[in-house]
Chain A
Amino acid sequence: MSEPILSLRELSVSVETREGPRALVDRVSFDLEPGEILGLVGESGSGKSVTCRALIRLLPSSSLSVTGGSILSRGEEVLTMDDRRLRRLRGGTIGMIFQNPTSHLDPVMTIGDQIMESVRFHRSVGKKDARARAIEVLTQVGIPDPVHRLTNFPHEFSGGMRQRAMIAVALACDPEVLIADEPTTALDVTVQAQILRLLMDLRDRDGLSIILITHDLGIVAQSCDGVAVMYGGRICERGPMRTILGDAKHPYTAGLIACQPGEAPKGQPVRTIPGQPPTVGAMPSGCRFHPRCANARAACSETQPAMVALAPDHDLACHYPLGASEGGPRA
């Protein structure tokens, strides 16, 4: 296996509250391989977005801070980078796109200027070359008539086109990694299919590595190579997409899959996971899923399960994995 392009080790992020610091992200580790689409799956509050913001040290609030761990981008530590190097990283090595393109594009700047700004910031090129790059990258993301579109403002684009434009801005400096935070949640299903197709083309054609944050397992099945499932700020299971969707060992992963309305016979109740996802102020002890877990026993509320490798590429944090023989908790 080649060297991972991005490597997180035991990354923790906490938030300052009136009752003291609380961990939002708790010792999260994963690797992103070159040319891989890694799905980061979880419900609201699971810490998936915060993890990715921490990756480029762009935490959305000053009350959030990284409290431990390491982030290696091509072997270089991101957490100790100086500001100059960090500015190169953001947009240069790692691009990011968001759920809502309308609020992440500048409404009073043309699409062309926004792309050219990024190009000229990261590369010492003239206006002409930057413009050529902007046209190139708009073509790359499938925007018709790019020369004309350069002079448009975001409000002149439709929702799907705006998402393409945001991808174009993120790709302008040829990053190696794209972080896509719920990029299709706000889009119609036919447009979502177009954007997913675009992301897969960018991986296949240009070798882009992508972290795709989503709550939709259908999107994971259609586009991801690897999956990491997050719950309550921790990764509970990770592995190749087909292993996770076909042979999940964590009760939460299996529960999420069973919750899909298509999985239940028509007219019958849909399988659900009882209870609510935990909130930052009230994280359960031990395994954070135990209050909602049908398999939970005493050990689950007492000790936190360690991440154990079931197979070289399949890791799990659960005392009583599904399908395992009866017995005491695993070490």
Chain B
Amino acid sequence: MTQESPLLEVENLEVHFHRGRSFWPGAKSKTVRAVNGVSLTVHPGETVGLVGESGSGKSTFGRAVLRLEAPTAGLVLFEGVDVARGTRGDIATLRRRTAMIFQDPYGSLNPRMTIGDALAEVLRVHRLVPVDRIPDRVGELLTLVGLEPAHATRKPGDMSGGQCQRAGIARALAIEPRLIIADECVAALDVSIQGQIINLLMELRARMGLAMIFIAHDLAIVRHLCDRVAVMYLGRIVEEGPTEAVFTAPRHPYTATLIAAIPDINPDHRLPADPPPGDPPSPMNPPPGCPFHPRCAFAIDDCRGGGPPTPKGDRDHWGACLLPPSVFSPSFQPNDEPPSGDV
């Protein structure tokens, strides 16, 4: 791993929402702990995958890092500056150094604005290029993401989903960010188009040294694209490590369950005959102990009480589970060196 100072350091981030606040004074409102003590470090040029099911808090985490959501507690250090409690100036700097790509390519672009105007607006607001250079720069950005400069005159409604997603990426790149948070950015696209966008992200990452937090539920894409993976469940990271290590020798039963539940294109790799029961529980009412225990096939009595388990393993690859990993991940051998050499 790089020894450079990290680009982003998140420590014990918490984001809570209040729901069901009553009209009646004194009535109790419910607190949803969407992100509940998450720590994550991203180095320059690194791609970190954030995976988990709906309600795991992965999108909220991404939004809180960019200060699109106000954190309840914790530290978010971007290039050493705490943006969780930053001044307006700090936030403005953050906005010039980070960008987000959203899931819905149509919904994230203004339908009444041409693509060119949408890009020009970013360049103008952030005063990135002199006004007379703006049209040229818009053309460059569109070429960069594989569109034609002529697309600048189109509106989102005249373009396909893949083209709109490229425009969304061009807008994110307009500010020349150091960090991009991509929230399910290929989930809404057709399979044959998904690959085009993934390749574009890989190419841009190599060319511009971008760091990325790639939020997704599609594990195959995450495995292909990411250097490291963090697995979230009910507002907490339950496992984090280098991608191949997490996929081949998971240190948390939830990770093992997720991996086993992906329908493989090889018909001989059967889905488990008894998939884990139940749905992911609601973050409004998380179970005590390990949040995964009600669905875990390996849970023992100790899992059902107390606080969430503390991380075990090493700094590079850890899992928050009381059990030794060999119990739930057959490929795991306790004395194995981590598989990839640069860790």
Minimum CB distance partner of A222 in chain B: B263
B29 on interface, CB distance cutoff 8 Å: no
Q: A158-B279, A221-B265 are in contact. Are A190 and B258 (CB under 8 A)?
A: yes
Instruction: Select which of B162, B198, B219, B263 is within 8 A of A276 by beta carbon.
Output: B162
B263: min CB distance to chain A, Å: 3
B191: min CB distance to chain A, Å: 5
Query: Contact string, A230-261, partner B, CB cutoff 8 A, digits 1/0?
Result: 00000000000110010000000001110111
Cα distance, A20 to B265, chains bound together (Å):
41
Contact A218 B221 (CB under 8 A): no
Instruction: Select which of B203, B261, B266, B270 is within 8 A of A192 by beta carbon.
Output: B261
Give residues in B with beta carbon < 8 Å to A. Answer: 53-54, 160-163, 190-196, 198-199, 202-203, 217-221, 223-225, 243-244, 257-258, 261-267, 270-277, 279-280, 295
Cα distance, A189 to B218, chains bound together (Å):
9
Cα distance, A43 to B194, chains bound together (Å):
11
Contact B199 A269 (CB under 8 A): yes
List 7 A–B pairs whose Cβ atoms lie within 8 Å, in order of A's numbering. Answer: A43-B192, A190-B257, A193-B261, A216-B191, A221-B266, A221-B267, A266-B224
Contact A276 B160 (CB under 8 A): yes
Contact A222 B270 (CB under 8 A): yes
Cα distance, A159 to B278, chains bound together (Å):
10
Q: A194-B275, A266-B224 are in contact. Are A261 and B195 (CB under 8 A)?
A: yes
Contact B263 A221 (CB under 8 A): yes
Contact B272 A193 (CB under 8 A): yes
Minimum CB distance partner of A262 in chain B: B220
Q: A188-B280, A189-B217 are in contact. Are A256 and B192 (CB under 8 A)?
A: yes
Instruction: Select which of B263, B271, B274, B280 is within 8 A of A216 by beta carbon.
Output: B263
Cα distance, A161 to B190, chains bound together (Å):
27
Cα distance, A288 to B269, chains bound together (Å):
33
A297 on interface, CB distance cutoff 8 Å: no
B340: min CB distance to chain A, Å: 10
Cα distance, A219 to B192, chains bound together (Å):
17
A267 on interface, CB distance cutoff 8 Å: yes
Q: A43-B190, A193-B272, A277-B192 are in contact. Are A160 and B261 (CB under 8 A)?
A: no
Q: B267: which A residues are within 8 A, CB to CB?
A: 221-222, 241-242, 245
B239: min CB distance to chain A, Å: 15
Cα distance, A188 to B279, chains bound together (Å):
8
Instruction: Select which of A197, A242, A262, A274 is within 8 A of B275 by beta carbon.
Output: A197
A125 on interface, CB distance cutoff 8 Å: no
Q: A44-B190, A190-B258, A264-B224 are in contact. Are A259 and B195 (CB under 8 A)?
A: yes
Query: Contact string, A161-198, partner B, CB cutoff 8 A, digits 1/0?
Result: 10000000000000000000000000011111110110
Q: B225: which A residues are within 8 A, CB to CB?
A: 261
Cα distance, A156 to B243, chains bound together (Å):
37
Cα distance, A88 to B273, chains bound together (Å):
35
Instruction: Select which of B193, B224, B275 is within 8 A of A190 by beta carbon.
Output: B275
Q: A43-B190, A159-B54, A276-B160 are in contact. Are A197 and B279 (CB under 8 A)?
A: no
The 4 closest A-B pairs by CB, nearest first: A218-B263, A193-B275, A272-B195, A188-B53
Cα distance, A256 to B274, chains bound together (Å):
29
Q: A188-B53, A193-B272, A222-B271 are in contact. Are A261 and B265 (CB under 8 A)?
A: no
Q: A259: which B residues are within 8 A, CB to CB?
A: 191-192, 194-195
Contact B224 A256 (CB under 8 A): no
Query: Contact string, A187-228, partner B, CB cutoff 8 A, digits 1/0?
Result: 011111110110000000000000000011111011100000
Cα distance, A35 to B275, chains bound together (Å):
23
Q: A190-B257, A191-B279, A272-B195 are in contact. Are A215 and B190 (CB under 8 A)?
A: yes
Cα distance, A245 to B263, chains bound together (Å):
14
Cα distance, A40 to B333, chains bound together (Å):
42
Cα distance, A219 to B272, chains bound together (Å):
13
Contact B220 A260 (CB under 8 A): yes
A3: min CB distance to chain B, Å: 27
B278: min CB distance to chain A, Å: 8
Q: B261: which A residues are within 8 A, CB to CB?
A: 189-190, 192-193
Given contacts A191-B279, A221-B266, A264-B224, 8 further A-B contacts (CB under 8 A): A43-B190, A190-B258, A191-B53, A193-B275, A221-B264, A222-B263, A269-B199, A269-B203
A273 on interface, CB distance cutoff 8 Å: yes
Cα distance, A255 to B195, chains bound together (Å):
11
Within 8 A of B (CB), among A97-130: none
B157: min CB distance to chain A, Å: 13
Q: B218: which A residues are within 8 A, CB to CB?
A: 261
A322 on interface, CB distance cutoff 8 Å: no
Contact A270 B263 (CB under 8 A): no
Q: B195: which A residues are within 8 A, CB to CB?
A: 259, 261, 270-273
Contact A257 B194 (CB under 8 A): no
Cα distance, A191 to B281, chains bound together (Å):
12
Q: B295: which A residues are within 8 A, CB to CB?
A: 190
Minimum CB distance partner of A241 in chain B: B267
Q: A277: which B residues are within 8 A, CB to CB?
A: 190, 192
A311: min CB distance to chain B, Å: 18
Cα distance, A107 to B219, chains bound together (Å):
33
Contact A261 B160 (CB under 8 A): no
Q: B161: which A residues are within 8 A, CB to CB?
A: 44
Instruction: Select which of B160, B198, B265 is within 8 A of A217 by beta carbon.
Output: B265
A140: min CB distance to chain B, Å: 17
Minimum CB distance partner of B270 in chain A: A222
